[in-house]
Amino acid sequence: MPVMSIIACGMLEDELVHVLSKDSGLKQLIVTEDRDNLEFLRKLKLKNCTPWTAYLDRIPMLLKDGDSFNSGAHMKFLSLLPLFKKIREKRELIEKKKVTVVVNLLRLGLHSDLEQLKVKVYENIREMASFSDNILVFYGSCGHTFGKLEEDFAGLGCPLSFLKDKDGEMIEDCISLALGGNEAYARCMLEFRGMGTIYLTPMWASSWKRLENESEGREFNNRYLKNPLYCLAAKIDTGLANNSKFDENVKEFARKYDMKITDLKGSMEIAEQSYLAARNGTTKKQSENSSS
């Protein structure tokens, strides 16, 4: 059974819900047990996507149990009969195209300490590689924190996939992902040159109060947000949000920090294509392992 694992930034939970809910080829979805994942689970259920939940150290056993029925003695016996053999072969062909996805959504605010973020992501890659055919790192480069990640895990034995733009470059961060790539992000920064700009995705807009109240929340730090140089709140419409709630959150943020709101068109293209590429890589690796 092909297993694709995803290690994801909490700020990208909307994008993750989007790609998972669109995947009709999911065999099963497992989300690591964590009190910070409740909103993520709620959003999945709203999209008719109900996962199993388990602590990370229990997932290998859960995956093993999921295979037990197919590998049982009664199935092996039935496969000896011509009719059941054909049915089993057809079923196996269909099953090879399906994947089990294991999601490990890491908490918001980790990126306030980039060294700690790196340690946490590297630690989870090592642990999840033991039961994965591929791991999709659902993060940007985050200030080049993950610039050497592929090199550092060259001998891991489990391929890594990344969020990459059309030029094959790892995206800079969640804003680059929402805008459609590093080039689109650079164009926006040039357009707003001379104006301090805060970019707000639906998830950023719904989380700024929480980040502001946490000591680790440097992204919404009063010291620089109240600086007159910061005068623009760029609202990025990715098409994923409850528009009325998104509008309300952005307006409240802009009022507090005395900023003018400007609208930007977002895109889910990179999230969708990166997920699909990782998924295809997972089934391909499983097929190669089965034939070798």
For residue 143, the model assigns a pLDDT of 80
Assess whether pLDDT exceeds 50 at residue 216: no
Cα dist from 129 to 46, 89, 134, 137, 160, whole Å: 30, 29, 8, 12, 9
Assess whether pLDDT exceeds 70 at residue 126: yes
For residue 194, the model assigns a pLDDT of 74
Amino acid at 234: A
Assess whether pLDDT exceeds 90 at residue 12: yes
For 149-172, write each residue's pLDDT tens digit.
989 999 899 999 999 998 899 999
For residue 64, the model assigns a pLDDT of 83
Q: In order of start, what are the domains of the chain with their CATH numbers? A: 3-171+270-291 (3.40.50), 181-265 (no CATH)
- The pLDDT mean for the chain works out to 85
Assess whether pLDDT exceeds 70 at residue 96: no
Q: Which residue has the higher pLDDT, 91 or 258?
A: 258
pTM: predicted TM-score of the whole model, two decimal places? 0.86
Q: Which of 97-111, 169-183, 215-229, 272-286 has the lowest mean pLDDT?
A: 215-229
Of the pLDDT bands very low, low, confident and very high (cuts 50, 70, 90), residue 209 is confident
Nearby residues of 120 by Cβ (< 8 Å), 6 or more positions away: 106, 110
Q: Which residue has the higher pLDDT, 274 or 210?
A: 274
Chain mean position to CA 76: 38
For residue 133, the model assigns a pLDDT of 94
Nearby residues of 158 by Cβ (< 8 Å), 6 or more positions away: 129, 132, 133, 134, 135
Closest by Cα among 24, 7, 251, 291 to 134: 7
Of the pLDDT bands very low, low, confident and very high (cuts 50, 70, 90), residue 90 is low
Strands in the chain per DSSP E: 3-9, 26-32, 52-54, 99-106, 134-138, 160-162, 196-200, 230-237, 260-265
Structure tokens at 166: 């059309």
